[in-house]
Amino acid sequence: MREETYLRIAYMALEEGRDIIGPSFVAKELGISRPAAQEALLKLAEKDYGDYIAGKGFKLNVRGVEKGKEVTCKHRLIECLFEEIGLEAEEACREATRIEGFVSRKAFEKLRESFYHRDHCPCGKEIRL
């Protein structure tokens, strides 16, 4: 999984009022091991997307929030695309998670042109963040 996905998980947690996320939370959300999740969060802090507070977890900074917001929007637009070709919301989310870190700027723009007018992604979350 790429850093984009971890940033999205952190941003979505923030949307739900959770500003610090620990490795266990990320591990559960993404179905990965706790050590892998911890390593990913430490890497986000290293790359200046936020701070890792020992014993508590990771907290996004302003730069991390902006990037997390962008990836979350991208994720939801990709979900719309997959829904359009017949996938259920849950499958669309899974597939979007697999590719969200690899979509080019140009493809992102095309996704925006096609689906940004929608209010919600297939799972009912806001697209325009």
Say whether residue 83 binds Zn ion (CB under 5 A): no
Convert 8-46 into a string of H (helix), E (strand) and C (coil). Answer: HHHHHHHHCCCCCECHHHHHHHHCCCHHHHHHHHHHHHH
Say whether residue 121 binds Zn ion (CB under 5 A): yes
Sole window of 7-15, 17-25, 52-60, 76-84 interacting with Zn ion (rule: CB under 5 A): 76-84
Is there a contact between 71 and 8 (Cβ–Cβ < 8 Å)?
Answer: yes
Shortest spacing between CB 38 and Zn ion, in angstroms: 26
Q: What whole-number distance in Å separates Cα of residue 127 and Cα of residue 73? A: 6
| # residues contacting Zn ion (CB under 5 A) | 4
Say whether residue 21 binds Zn ion (CB under 5 A): no
Amino acid at 49: Y
Tell me whether residue 48 or residue 84 sits nearer to Zn ion (CB atom). 84
Say whether residue 123 binds Zn ion (CB under 5 A): yes
What is the contact surface with Zn ion in residues (CB under 5 A)? 79, 121, 123, 125
